[in-house]
Structure 1
Amino acid sequence: MITTDRQLQALKPKGTVYWESVKSPHGGGLAIRVQPTGSKAWYYRYRFNGKQDTYSLGRYPSVGLLEARESHGEAVALHAQGINPKHAQRDEKARNESAWTMAELFERWLHSYAKTPTVRTRRTPSPLVVEQARWRWGHYLKGRVGSLLVKRIDARTVKSTVKEIAERQSRNQASKCLTMLRAMLTHAEGHGQIDANPAQGIQPSQLGATKSAPRDRVLSLSEIKRLWDAIESARLDTSAAAALKLLILTGQRRGELLQAKWDHIDLDGACWTLPAITTKSRREHTVYLSSAAIDLLREQQAVTGNLEYVFESQRASGQPIGDASLTTAIARLQGRKLAKQDMKAPLADMPRFSVHDLRRSMATGLLKHFGTAPHVVEQMLNHSPTDRLIETYQRHDYAKEQRLAWQAWGQLITDAEAAEQTNVVLLKKKKSS
Structure 2
Amino acid sequence: MAGKGGEMRTAGDVLLWWLERVESNRETSDSYKRSTRSMVKKNIVPALGKVLITKLDRRVLDDKLVWPMTQDGKKAGTQQKAFQALRQAFLLAEKTGRIKANPMASLTFKSFHRGAIGSKPASLSRVDLPALVQQLAENFNRDPVNGLLPLLMLAHGTRIGETLQAQWSHISLVERVWVLPELNCKSRRQHILPLTPQVLALLARYRQALPDARAQIDWVFPVRGGARLSPTTASAMFRSVSAGKWSSHDLRKLMRDCLADLGVDFFIGERLINHSLGKVSETYLTRDVMERCREALERWHARLDECGFSLAHGLDMAAPASSPNPETPEPTGAGDDS
TM, length-normalised to structure 2: 0.70
- Distance of 1:133 and 1:164 partners within structure 2: 24
Stretch deviating more after TM superposition (159-168 or 359-368)? 159-168
Match of 2:314 in 1: none
Flag the 1:239–1:210 CA change in 2: closer, same or farther, 3 A. farther
Match of 1:230 among 132, 135, 144: 135
Q: CA deviation at 1:102?
A: 4.6
Preserved contact between residue 248 and residue 362 of structure 1 (Cα < 8 Å): yes
- Distance of 1:209 and 1:334 partners within structure 2: 35
Question: Counterparts of 1:324-403 in structure 2 under 5 Å?
Answer: 324-336=232-244, 353-369=246-262, 371-386=263-278, 388-403=279-294
Q: Verify: 1:95 aligned to 2:6, yes or no.
A: no
Q: Verify: 1:127 aligned to 2:28, yes or no.
A: yes
Question: Counterparts of 1:159-170 in structure 2 under 5 Å?
Answer: 159=62, 160-165=64-69, 167-170=72-75
Flag the 1:418–1:161 CA change in 2: closer, same or farther, 3 A. closer
Q: 1:408-433: per-residue Cα shift (whole Å, max 9, x none)? A: 322321344799xxxxxxxxxxxxxx
Q: CA deviation at 1:174?
A: 2.4
Match of 1:88 in 2: none
Could you tell me which runs of 5 or more consecutive residues in structure 1 were left unpaired when the two chains were aligned: 1-92, 116-125, 337-351, 420-433
Flag the 1:354–1:210 CA change in 2: closer, same or farther, 3 A. farther
The list of structure 1 runs, each at least 4 consecutive aligned residues, that deviate by more than 6 angstroms after superposition, is 235-238
Aligned length: 295
Q: CA deviation at 1:264?
A: 0.5
- Distance of 1:399 and 1:381 partners within structure 2: 13
Q: Which amino acid aligns with 1:311?
A: F
Match of 1:283 among 177, 181, 189: 189
Match of 2:17 among 105, 118, 133: 105
Flag the 1:210–1:254 CA change in 2: closer, same or farther, 3 A. farther
Preserved contact between residue 182 and residue 191 of structure 2 (Cα < 8 Å): yes
TM, length-normalised to structure 1: 0.56
Q: Verify: 1:407 aligned to 2:288, yes or no.
A: no
Preserved contact between residue 134 and residue 307 of structure 2 (Cα < 8 Å): no
Stretch deviating more after TM superposition (243-252 or 273-282)? 273-282
Q: Which amino acid aligns with 2:28?
A: P
The structure with more strand, counted as a fraction of residues: 1
Q: Which amino acid aligns with 1:357?
A: D
Question: Counterparts of 1:33-432 in structure 2 under 5 Å?
Answer: 95=3, 98-99=6-7, 101-102=13-14, 104-110=16-22, 114=25, 127-128=28-29, 131-146=30-45, 148=49, 151=52, 154-155=56-57, 158-159=61-62, 160-165=64-69, 167-205=72-110, 207=112, 212-215=117-120, 217=122, 219-232=124-137, 241-302=147-208, 303=210, 304-313=214-223, 318-322=227-231, 324-336=232-244, 353-369=246-262, 371-386=263-278, 388-416=279-307
- Distance of 1:328 and 1:318 partners within structure 2: 17
- Distance of 1:417 and 1:145 partners within structure 2: 47
- Distance of 1:181 and 1:151 partners within structure 2: 14
Percent of aligned pairs sharing the same letter? 22
The structure with more helix, counted as a fraction of residues: 2
- Distance of 2:154 and 2:16 partners within structure 1: 40
Q: 1:292-327: per-residue Cα shift (whole Å, max 9, x none)? A: 32233223334241223212356x8524320x5554
Q: Look at both structures and tell me which one has the larger radius of gyration over its CA atoms.
A: 1
Counterpart secondary structure, 2:179: strand
Preserved contact between residue 244 and residue 326 of structure 1 (Cα < 8 Å): no
